[in-house]
Amino acid sequence: MYNNGVGSWLHRRRPKSGTKVALVAGQRELSYAELCERADRLANALRRRGVARGDRVAYLGENDPAFVETFFAAGLLGAIFIPLNTRLAAPELQFQLQDSGARLLVHGAALEGLAAGSVAGTGVQVRLVVTGADDAGGAAPAGSGTPAVERYEDALAAAPDDWIDETVGLDDGAMILYTSGTTGRPKGALLTHGNITWNCINVITDMDVNRNDVALMISPLFHVASLDMGLLPMLLKGATVVLEQKFDPGRALELIERHRITALSGVPTTYQLLAEHPAWASTDISSLDKLTCGGSAVPLRVLEAYEERGLGFSNGYGMTETAPGATTLPAWRSREKAGSSGLPQFFTDIRIADPLGEVLAPGEVGEIQIAGPNVIKQYWNRTEATRDSYADGIWFKSGDMGYRDEEGFLFVSDRLKDMIISGGENIYPAEVEAAIVELPQVASVAVIGVADEKWGEVPRAVVTLREGTSLTQEDIRAHLDGRLARYKIPKSVVFVEEMPRTASGKIRKAELRRQFAQ
């Protein structure tokens, strides 16, 4: 094969696992051979619509076989896949499509309005609408003709299933994932085929993934953790993946019992809702043996609920730029190393450094820096951000503070970038602050995270108003509705007469947290 990237995986897997079920979605099942054929057809359909090596193909939709097919079809062509967050507002999606230069958008029919409103002014030339495998034929949704709107299944049916063996190397770009930053503008992390491959090897090695696993994907695949830690290692190994479009704890428990699910991943809120559901005690969950949790620490009451059923959690630390795994804490050491994010993944290295780049001794707090073949080399069209993100040209500067103990276990102690994690979603205060300060009444604003029993953290805005003006919490939330994803909109607003500031005029967020984070 000329293709050494992720696009070749289904062709490499088909001779070994052709009749094995690869994906389950509702009542629908796709074997590895069927999934491979559909990816081939889609690759040919994309090529007929002008997609070539290096072009960008975006996907906007819930968990669906079409997501997986689009990912692999892009890989077959040497194109770059862009998974879009369905919870974002149209202006946010429009920026990502424009910044990436996406040529084609595949999206779910239920998101027609959001998709149509997001492509205006971008380079998207074609929209393929996923209506379901049984709904092929018939008229496409109404569109202006720019871009062209076509049914996904019609495009597949009209395309040949010829295998396109494009020359693709591990250093070629495979996927752009947008991650916000302290400037308030999202940056596109360019993951190569090698980044994704080595991350999957890390997962398979450290999590003991095997071909008999059955994984339930209840978290959105547009999140890097769900895609690169959940779905792709399973498919690389020849396991089965059950796709769910929405998380419902009762249905998830029913699926665990019906499909004998062995692997489940989520955030603490996910596991809490499962354990609090009335069917928890009566559901047979004896098949489960791999529970992975990210986003934040698992609360003790949740940990105990699972331990009573003989289960433990594998926790970890990572970020989009590490594709995303950096460390893993095995379940059998979760009590002994409570609060730790674990050891570096097998082919990943971690160090703790001071501002001058000196490596610190165990127990000393400094910046967490990461190196390895799973770590990105660049941001998309962000030369300065790329240059500023590495120490010695090798170590990715996470912006997070932490320390390692004598055994090398990582403990994350603070977020240098003030990021808020709410139900597994990353919220960057600068982005929310930039939207709030658009209001002419606002003199200054700071967004902080406050503890929430359900979501872990939720954003709270602290606002000072210009003299002689007035605003309410409802005014601010209404202003943000449609501009930002709803999970980013502050759940509460506190109005203050004056912000605490440093001598240089910077807002002292630590002081605001002390005052208002309860």
Q: How far apart are CA 347 and CA 131, in angstroms?
A: 40
Predicted confidence (pLDDT) at residue 191 exceeds the cutoff of 50: yes
Are 396 and 455 part of one and the same domain? no
Task: Pick the last residue of a domain from 124, 153, 169.
Answer: 169
Mean of the pLDDT values across residues 45-62?
98
CATH number of the CATH domain containing 212: 3.40.50.12780
Whether residue 180 is contained in a domain is answered as no
Task: Pick the last residue of a domain from 415, 432, 452.
Answer: 415
CATH number of the CATH domain containing 82: 3.40.50.980
Q: 211 and 17 in contact (C-beta within 8 Å)?
A: yes
DSSP-derived letter for residue 111 is G
Mean of the pLDDT values across residues 425-441?
87
Q: How far apart are CA 323 and CA 229, in angstroms?
A: 8
Are 287 and 401 part of one and the same domain? yes
Are 376 and 481 part of one and the same domain? no
Whether residue 161 is contained in a domain is answered as yes
Domain tally for the chain?
Answer: 3
Are 205 and 158 part of one and the same domain? no
Are 459 and 483 part of one and the same domain? yes
Are 382 and 476 part of one and the same domain? no
Give the domain range for residue 125.
6-169
Residue 137: band (very low, low, confident or very high) from pLDDT cuts 50, 70, 90: very low
Note the pLDDT of residue 234: 98
Q: Higher model confidence: residue 54 or residue 424?
A: 54
3-state secondary structure of 205: helix
Instruction: Please provide the size of the chain in residues.
Output: 518
For the ranges 5-14, 113-122, 286-295, the lowest mean pLDDT is seen at 286-295
Note the pLDDT of residue 324: 96
Whether residue 188 is contained in a domain is answered as no
Residue 429: band (very low, low, confident or very high) from pLDDT cuts 50, 70, 90: confident
Are 68 and 140 part of one and the same domain? yes
Work out the angle between the directed axes of helices 9-17 and 32-48 (0-180°, nearest 10): 150
CATH number of the CATH domain containing 509: 3.30.300.30
Q: Higher model confidence: residue 417 or residue 190?
A: 190
Q: 457 and 447 in contact (C-beta within 8 Å)?
A: no
Note the pLDDT of residue 142: 47
Predicted confidence (pLDDT) at residue 333 exceeds the cutoff of 60: yes
Q: What is the pTM of this model?
A: 0.87
Cβ burial, residue 250 (10 Å; 0-12/13-18/19+): middle
Q: How far apart are CA 66 and CA 130, in angstroms?
A: 7
- pLDDT tens profile 452-508: 988 989 999 999 998 999 999 999 999 999 999 999 999 999 999 999 986 556 788
Mean of the pLDDT values across residues 402-408?
95
Mode of pairing for the β-strands spanning 395-404 and 410-415: antiparallel
**H or E stretch at 189:** strand 187-192
Note the pLDDT of residue 418: 78
Residue 517: band (very low, low, confident or very high) from pLDDT cuts 50, 70, 90: confident
Q: What share of the chain is helix, strand, coil (3-state, %, to 5)?
A: 30, 30, 40
Residue 518: band (very low, low, confident or very high) from pLDDT cuts 50, 70, 90: confident
- pLDDT tens profile 195-206: 999 999 999 999
Predicted confidence (pLDDT) at residue 134 exceeds the cutoff of 80: no
Whether residue 184 is contained in a domain is answered as no
% of residues, the chain, pLDDT over 90: 79
CA dihedral 16, 18, 23, 24 (to 10 degrees): -130
Whether residue 181 is contained in a domain is answered as no
Whether residue 309 is contained in a domain is answered as yes
Are 365 and 437 part of one and the same domain? no
Predicted confidence (pLDDT) at residue 235 exceeds the cutoff of 70: yes
Whether residue 175 is contained in a domain is answered as no
Mean of the pLDDT values across residues 418-428?
84
Mean of the pLDDT values across residues 433-440?
90
Note the pLDDT of residue 502: 66
Whether residue 65 is contained in a domain is answered as yes
Are 400 and 430 part of one and the same domain? no
Note the pLDDT of residue 139: 41
- pLDDT tens profile 144-189: 447 899 999 999 999 999 999 999 999 999 999 998 654 557 899 9
Cβ burial, residue 373 (10 Å; 0-12/13-18/19+): middle
Mean pLDDT (the chain, rounded): 92
Are 411 and 427 part of one and the same domain? no
Residue type present at position 236: L
Q: How far apart are CA 430 and CA 506, in angstroms?
A: 13
Residue 136: band (very low, low, confident or very high) from pLDDT cuts 50, 70, 90: very low
Residue type present at position 168: V
Q: 474 and 461 in contact (C-beta within 8 Å)?
A: no
Are 427 and 316 part of one and the same domain? no
Predicted confidence (pLDDT) at residue 140 exceeds the cutoff of 70: no
Predicted confidence (pLDDT) at residue 241 exceeds the cutoff of 50: yes
Q: 43 and 73 in contact (C-beta within 8 Å)?
A: yes
The counts of H helices and E strands in the chain are: 16, 26
- pLDDT tens profile 98-124: 999 999 999 999 999 999 999 999 999
Mean of the pLDDT values across residues 281-302?
87
User: How would DSSP label each residue in 485-500?
Assistant: -GGGS-SEEEE-SS--
Are 452 and 406 part of one and the same domain? no
Instruction: Please confirm whether the linkage preceding 147 is cis (ω < 30° from 0).
Output: yes
Note the pLDDT of residue 334: 85
Among residues 360, 368, 320, the alpha carbon closest in space to that of 340 is found at: 368
**Non-local CB neighbours of 450 within 8 Å, separated by 6+ positions:** 457, 458, 459, 460, 491, 492, 516, 517, 518
Q: How far apart are CA 482 and CA 489, in angstroms?
A: 10
Q: 61 and 106 in contact (C-beta within 8 Å)?
A: yes
Q: How far apart are CA 96 and CA 90, in angstroms?
A: 10
Mean of the pLDDT values across residues 58-82?
98
